[in-house]
Amino acid sequence: MRILKYLTVIASVMFLTSCDKHGLDLADGNEQPMDENMAELRIHYAEPIKTGAASRFDSLYINNKLYANSTNAFGATNVMPNSNKFYQAPIGTVNMKCWRKSTDPVYDFDFTASKGKQEVFIYDLEQAPIVLNTSFPYYSTAASGTAATWGADSTAYVEFYNFLYEEYGDGNKVPYEGTLQLQYQDLRDAEKWHNIGEPVAFGQASGRAEVRIIKSAGVNNGTRTVKYRMVDADGNPLKYITNKGVEAEYSLNYDTTNGRVYMFYSWGIRTSKTIVTSLVGKAIH
């Protein structure tokens, strides 16, 4: 019994120590203690190109330090280090370089990192990244509903980022010119749609908003499939070109769990059937 007691104490100390470390730093996955004067960065690759092996970067350097290599899948629509961790880097001017089977980097730009958590979007290899603050608080908890209004409902939180492109007849792709509003369909009344945050232009974030998760049975793990859509500045459902070359209204069914925090960003080229519009969804907490 005494041995078991000591093993329990040792295990508890190890657990507390591991929980105290955050800010993934190196390509080998080692975690480093977080310095108060460091920025926390999550890197998204949102350029509208064909996904797959050809889109992947072989290596990612931040301030000439290797953060990801060819063993990490960092291609279009991917995020590094992953959707619920961050790299750490010094506050101030930060340089980011990416290679893709090349002698010289295919991406080499500086950006400004601030104290706290930030989302860094590579959206064009000819442009510096767009850096947006991660909404606070970073974490969330399940919110109980009222018996009169929501019964056993709970809450998830979602934030929307706009990185949708358009393409003209000459093949030139440009950022979508209007604003987009993300909405979710009411789980009780399919005719109702609820706005998530504010309408946003290209490169902007909507702000985090509640999504009500309604239990479908007496015993439920808190996950429901929720339908999301984007509407344009006139309030009309966003139309896009499918991979079959026909126009349709875009929507996405996504499993959403109470108490969790999600980010969605619009990706692709609205008028292209090869780089088709989509919502990229990630659970970040």
**Tokens 């290797």 identify what position?**
66
pLDDT confidence band for 168 (50 / 70 / 90): confident
- pLDDT tens, 198-217? 999 999 999 999 999 887 66
Say if residue 220's pLDDT is above 80: no
pLDDT confidence band for 28 (50 / 70 / 90): low
State the amino acid at position 174 in one-letter form. V
The whole-number pLDDT of residue 12 equals: 39
Which residues touch 243 (CB under 8 Å, ≥6 apart)? 273, 274, 276
Considering only residues 218 and 184, tell me which one the structure prediction assigns the higher pLDDT: 184
Considering only residues 175 and 214, tell me which one the structure prediction assigns the higher pLDDT: 175
Q: Tokens for 80, please give them.
A: 């590094």
Average pLDDT estimate for 14-38: 52
Overall pTM surpassing 0.85 (yes/no): no
Say if residue 196's pLDDT is above 50: yes
Task: Tell me which residue of 112, 121, 114, 118 sits closest to 94, measured CA to CA.
Answer: 112
Say if residue 281's pLDDT is above 60: yes
Average pLDDT estimate for 225-238: 97
